[in-house]
Amino acid sequence: MIWNQAVRRAMKRHVARAQGRLDPTRFAQEPAYVAALLARLDGVVYEGKAGRVEFFSTIVADRGPNSAESRFGADFAIAAHLSQPGSEVRKAVLGQAKKGALDQLRTEERQRFQLQVHRMAAVTSAIVGLEVPRATGDQLIVRVVDVVSVPTDTAEVNLGLMRIGPPRDLADYLTRGIMRCSHGDARDDFVGAVSSSDLSRLQIVATSLRSATG
């Protein structure tokens, strides 16, 4: 999908408003910051002659050893409903947030992130890492994450079987990745499954995916 400048400006304003009053120093742990951020991202970004752009945010349940986060590796999901005259797309991504740069995680945290990425990869290829800013004014950075055996681009960082893409600010990722349909999982069952914080229907998606590829 190609969007005009008015829609792209609306996306930048939407992200700026979402981040505007969120001071990272008031959130000791990244889950609290991410929950506040995604609550602000949720909503209609644009509605007009060019079409309609709406985002839906899900904070994944993380309580208990058998929580949705422990089973599927994600701590959030972002879904989008994009419509233009004669065209309509619904898509979503799973993500995991970390404080600071993903390519500078300490060994233990890096290994934990690898495990989380592989669990997400069992149900979708649309995976992102969100770098939670450390200070007010820092950019919100998103990196597309893939599970691969070797790096294929010098701009990417290889962590074992995980490839972390180059940093992109959140507004740029949502505009050029999600809205232009270069990233995201458009399967109806997947988009529906990530709309619930317990991800209860995601197991069905995982089973279907294994059957299709096996």
The one-digit pLDDT tens for each residue of the chain (214 residues) are 899 999 999 999 999 999 888 888 888 778 889 999 999 999 999 999 999 999 999 999 987 778 899 999 999 999 999 999 999 999 999 999 998 899 999 999 998 999 999 999 989 999 999 999 888 778 889 999 998 754 445 445 555 578 999 999 999 999 999 999 899 999 999 999 999 998 888 876 666 655 555 4
3-state class of 209 per DSSP? helix
Comparing CA positions, the residue from 181, 185, 143 lying closest to residue 3 is: 181
CA distance 172 to 121: 23
Identity of the residue numbered 117: V
Whether this model's pTM surpasses 0.85 = yes
Residue 185 DSSP symbol? B
Q: List the chain domain ranges.
A: 5-213
**CA 91 remoteness from chain centre:** 11
Distances 208 to 3, 186, 211 between C-alpha atoms, Å: 33, 15, 5
CA distance 32 to 202: 24
Nearest 5 degrees, angle CA 189-CA 192-CA 197?
Answer: 130
